[in-house]
Amino acid sequence: MMQRIRTLFAAILIAALACSAVAGQKTAGGGKAPTPSEFLGFEVGADRKLADYRQISSYFKALAAPSDRVQIEILGKTTLGEEMIMAILSTPENLRNKAKYQDIAHKLADPRGLSPQQVDALARDGKTILLITCNIHSTEIGSSQMAMEWAYHLATAQDAETLKRLNDSIVLLVPSLNPDGETMVTEWYRKYLGTKYEGGPMPYLYHHYVGHDDNRDWFMLTQIETKNVNHMVYHEWYPQFWLDEHQMGYTGPRIYIPPNADPVAKLVNPLVHRGNNLMGADMGWRLEEAGKSGVIFGYSFDAYWPGGTRNTGWWKNMFGVLTEVASARIATPMEISATELQGGTKGLIAYEQQINFPNPWPGGTWRLRDIMDYELIISDAALETVSKFRQELLHGVASMAAYAVKSADAAEYWRIPLEGQRDPIEASRLAALLLEHGVEVRLAPDKKSVLVATAQPYGRFVDEMLGIQRYPEVRPAAGSGILEPYDVAAWSLPLLMGVKAERVRISPAEQQGSTLLQSAPWPAGGLTGTGKYFSVAGRQNNTFALANAMQKAGGEVYVAHAANEPPVVVFAAHPQLQENAAKLHVLLNAHADLPARAERLKAVRIGLYKPYIPSMDEGWTRFILEQYGFPMKNIENKEVKAGNLNASYDVIILPDTSRGVIVDGKQRAEGYAEEMPPEYTGGIGKEGVKALRDFVENGGTLITLANSSAVALGEDFNLPVRNVFGSGESARGTQATSINIPGSLLRVYVDTNHPVGYGMPQEIAAFFDAPIAFETSPPAPDVTRTVIAWYPEDSKDILVSGYARGAERLERKAAVVSFTKGKGKVVMFGFRVQFRAQTEGTFLMLFNAIRWAGM
Ligand SMILES: [Zn+2]
């Protein structure tokens, strides 16, 4: 059905596009460009009307065809194969010279070797490049609709002020950072229009893999959409200013604009915030002038975390602003009673007039049109700011880049050894990621390590991402709790990836003998020698990818393990082995015979549970398993409830989500929850829990990730284990007595002789963001329990990077436990073993747990 609707719209649009292309002719300022409403045949922004992504991108193409102020660039394909577009808007003259302005932007972003006079000249001659991105969170849909109207305005306006702004600047406008999600949300909305579910939540993620976490991916760059935009920003356009337009909840302020809230990141040049605040001030001015109330700054969104779109650029000397407009029910208006308006968050504890909120919105009707009107004003204000302060901003970027170089010690480098790493492929992956970020990466003269200078334009970014974090304890008042981070508190890439990296001083000879890398130095993979068998120590994530690829190709895979050594993974000779091993950078050694104790590895059938209240962790897990070639199927409530799960699966993974979501299909036990269409109501129920228990007793392996352990901690499973934090506590508690570990890396010890710990180091940095730590008790003979990983005895040793208060409650508690019961197994991960596809250093434990099911 979805497919048919899509095809139908596409056909209509191609017809419409063809008409306008015939009628249109390139004109200066183009009077012939259609308005969005003319082109789409409905009033854009009207109640209950939405343009889907195909319509939006067709409109942009129709606008560009007759206009000499608009060009379209394709950023790449999306996860589901959609074309991701960006409009480039400026004067015809600027567009003709766009390569020149890209070059100026590049030089200002890296002004090494330029004299002050040359920088002055570039700032004088350059244009500010303003990137505006919309709709990364697909339900925050207003900006995707607004983008069409604003682009039409810029393409056709004849007033002197707009023409001046366009002459000063080049606007890069991305109408949706998540086209697939825009389509999903629009289809869902249209499907239930006029029913009681109108404008309600969807039962699936609005990004194929990661849902809302698409805006948590900007330092790790795992998703294709993130990669596309990252490449455009840091390798092609070097915009000086990035504005990312979002929406927030509906019972608070109407719009958030800069300044950000506390805390503030130490390594970001303060000029970044000054530039952001200039833009925020103009936005606030223009909104009040237009009679728009409910404008707030210094609210909720901190200046500390580098994971979202524009934030990552702060460490790369780029100005970057987030805005958040209050939502409606997608395109359905809402009535908000004055009594429903509330604060309750950083910067607005009570919904009252304050200096950062001088004109509270009084309540009333709020609709898509309001969202778009606020967004049109702030988009205009953004362009006004970058036009007015063109030279200052261009100069500012160059001076921040120069300062990043000058303030660092030219002999200080990060050294990432390519040899002696547990997983050398991960070390290369880290180098590849830094290159993707536009960082300068060098190969040491002996080719045994990679060197990353701290004295380079993106040096602050390098130190932020390779160093460790210490969250600043900012208190709004004496004696009060600290301001909590907006998102997580740790992102140290070497720790996340399990890679050794060191900040060292290097000699001038080593500096001079090193060479700039254009691409990552991947280790050589393939076969050494000839034989019937080929082996590798099972310490690398990619050995699993290779095992999965070979099993898929019909090859034989074995594992042998000796105490206190990593397991040996053995592959029988096969026509595809060399090619696969080379592709995956895994180097295999030849053997004449099968090594002693080698056990044939069974290919296991994996079921990944997928709830109707979408779990981003489900999506991330699916993404990772697909990346590493694990054969996998999603399993939904109905199938779990039906039981007899052993017939279809050897392993079932419950992703991180609450017991309430899994068992009852409810986020919270109490309070109002909107009804979903009946086919998406409820959870696995009591019978589903029993079916999972039967699955284990009959020989299946159940893996629970973080919060989903609560399903197996219940009385149905009757396992000798409890969560020391119970079930009601949050890891983000703010009271002095509670635990507060909001996404940090903690030290954990691992039993490397347990199959789940095979190939791991004895000490790891594990990502912790949920209050889960296990306490086991000695069981009766029919159950065995093993503590696979545990926290240190002394709380002083627990935190590695991030923030941890109340860590003493983790002392000597278990982090990963396993049980055998009946013929089957249960493995519970308390920490986030594969969090957001960022914790590559602990992926191996999840893969091991899956493999254990086949042993
Ligand atoms: Zn958002």
Confidence (pLDDT) at 486: 83
Task: Give CA–CA dist 89/386, Å, rounded.
Answer: 14
- What is the tens place of the pLDDT at every residue in 66-88? 999 999 999 999 999 999 999 99
323: CA distance to ligand 1 center in Å? 9
Mean pLDDT computed over every residue of the chain = 94
Q: Is 775 exposed, middle or buried (0-12, 13-18, 19+ CB in 10 A)?
A: middle
49: CA distance to ligand 1 center in Å? 21
Q: Is 27 exposed, middle or buried (0-12, 13-18, 19+ CB in 10 A)?
A: middle
Rounded average pLDDT over 580-602: 95
Q: What count of Cα atoms within 13 Å lies in the side-chain half-sphere of residue 274? A: 10
pLDDT more than 70, % of the chain: 95
- What is the tens place of the pLDDT at every residue in 148-174? 999 999 999 999 999 999 999 999 999
400: CA distance to ligand 1 center in Å? 28
Any residues with CB less than 8 A from the CB of 685 and at least 6 apart, and which? 637, 641, 663, 664
246: CA distance to ligand 1 center in Å? 4
Any residues with CB less than 8 A from the CB of 505 and at least 6 apart, and which? 409, 411, 412, 413
Rounded average pLDDT over 208-224: 98
Task: Give CA–CA dist 323/583, Å, rounded.
Answer: 43
pLDDT more than 90, % of the chain: 90
Binned at pLDDT 50, 70 and 90, residue 8 comes out as very low
252: CA distance to ligand 1 center in Å? 15
Query: Which of 726, 840, 737, 821 minimizes the C-alpha distance to 774?
Result: 726
Binned at pLDDT 50, 70 and 90, residue 671 comes out as confident
Name the β-bridge partners of 174.
133
Confidence (pLDDT) at 844: 98
CB 676 within 8 A of CB 800: no
Neighbours of 112 (CB within 10 A): 11
558: CA distance to ligand 1 center in Å? 46
74: CA distance to ligand 1 center in Å? 23
Confidence (pLDDT) at 694: 98
- In terms of phi and psi (left: phi > 0; alpha: psi -120 to 50; beta: otherwise), the region of 671 is left
Rounded average pLDDT over 742-768: 97
DSSP SS3 for 381: helix
Rounded average pLDDT over 172-191: 98
- What is the tens place of the pLDDT at every residue in 602-617? 999 999 999 999 999 9
**CB under 5 Å of ion ligand 1: residues:** 137, 140, 246
371: CA distance to ligand 1 center in Å? 14
CB 221 within 8 A of CB 76: no
The phi, psi pair for 585, rounded to 5°, reads 60, 25
215: CA distance to ligand 1 center in Å? 8
Task: Give CA–CA dist 18/187, Å, rounded.
Answer: 25
- What is the tens place of the pLDDT at every residue in 9-23? 444 444 344 334 333
Task: Give CA–CA dist 572/580, Å, rounded.
Answer: 13
List helix spans (H) across 324-423: 368-388, 390-406
83: CA distance to ligand 1 center in Å? 22
551: CA distance to ligand 1 center in Å? 41
- What is the tens place of the pLDDT at every residue in 341-360? 999 889 999 999 999 999 99
CA dihedral (157, 159, 162, 165) positive or negative: positive
DSSP 583-636: HTT-EEEEESSPPTT-EEPPPPPEEEE--SS--HHHHHHHHHHHHTT--EEEE-
pLDDT at 141 over 50: yes
Binned at pLDDT 50, 70 and 90, residue 729 comes out as low
First vs last C-alpha separation in the chain: 43
Q: Which two tokens stand for residue 496?
A: 């996340």
Rounded average pLDDT over 782-787: 95
Q: Which helix (H) or strand (E) holds 74?
A: strand 70-77
